[in-house]
Structure formats: structure tokens, C-alpha cells
Structure 1
Amino acid sequence: MVSRAKDTHTTNRVVRVADADWDDLGERAGARNRAQVIRDLVAWYLRRPDAKLPERPPVDPTDA
């Protein structure tokens, strides 16, 4: 069953993401911007008009 959202919000969806990936996404996109990055990726994947891939953060040299 899907939870109902307020009229001003989209419905919550459950997506499984590894904890480490979720934490890294929060660090790079900002904890409050993760959802926007995901929405942008979905729109781009579905080839929505004017959809663009979200900008990726700069390479972190400690990730090597």
C-alpha cells in the first residue's frame, strides 16, 4: 500500500539504497538535495523534455 501525500507533496516511494551510498550521496549532494538528484536522474532516464543529468560533484582525490 502506498502512503497518501498531502496535496502539495508527491507520494513517498520506497527505494533500497545501500547505507554507504546514501551517506555519500548526502555528503556530495547535500542531505536535503538527495531527492532532487534522484528526481533529475529519473526525468533524464525517461527522456522527459528539457531533462538534464544533474551536475556531478568534483572528483574527490581521497576516493582513489
Structure 2
Amino acid sequence: MPNQPKTPVSRFRIDAELWQAFGDAVPDDTDRSDVLRRYVAYYCRRPGAKPPERPPAGPWSEPSTD
């Protein structure tokens, strides 16, 4: 099958405002998927896995009051 991805797409539910804040907090040189994959590997105690570095506090740190 052409273009068979190495990993399947995984889905989960998350509050839209929190997902947006997470996207804002992720550094420009990476993406949310990379951060999540690294965290899951760390959470499962895979050899050599380290948690992703957290960014300093920013506007995404507090829930919106809209």
C-alpha cells in the first residue's frame, strides 16, 4: 500500500482551549505530536526516554476567562 505511515493515527479528546494553549506553548521548532510521543515514551519508562522540556510560564499557563 503506497504512503503507508510508520505509525497509525491515534485520537483522543481534549478541551479545545487547552489544546490551543498546548499548541501555543510548544516551541516553533517542534510540534505537538513530537512532544506527546516523547512524553508517552517517558511515561511508559522506555529505556533512555526523557520527559519533554516544559516551556517557561506564558499566556497559555492560565485558563482563558472569556
The TM tier, using the shorter chain, reads 0.7 to 0.9
Q: Shift of residue 28 of structure 1? A: 0.8
* Alignment partner of 1:44 is 2:58: no
1:54 maps to what in 2?
A: 52
Between the aligned partners of 1:24 and 1:17, the Cα distance in structure 2 is 11
- What TM-score, normalized to structure 1? 0.75
What residue ranges of structure 1 are gaps of 5+ in the alignment? 1-5
Identity percentage over the alignment?
36
Q: Go from structure 1 to structure 2 and tell me whether the alpha carbon gap of 1:18 and 1:61 turns closer, same or farther (over 3 Å shift).
A: closer
Structure number with higher relative contact order (C-alpha < 8 Å, ≥ 6 residues apart):
2
Between the aligned partners of 1:10 and 1:30, the Cα distance in structure 2 is 23
* Alignment partner of 1:14 is 2:17: no
Q: Which has the higher mean CA deviation after the structures are superposed, 21-30 or 43-52?
A: 21-30
What is the number of residues matched between the two proteins? Answer: 59
What residue ranges of structure 2 are gaps of 5+ in the alignment? none
- What TM-score, normalized to structure 2? 0.73
Question: What is the RMSD computed on CA atoms of the aligned residues?
Answer: 2.4
Between the aligned partners of 1:37 and 1:62, the Cα distance in structure 2 is 16
Between the aligned partners of 1:62 and 1:13, the Cα distance in structure 2 is 24
Between the aligned partners of 1:60 and 1:8, the Cα distance in structure 2 is 34
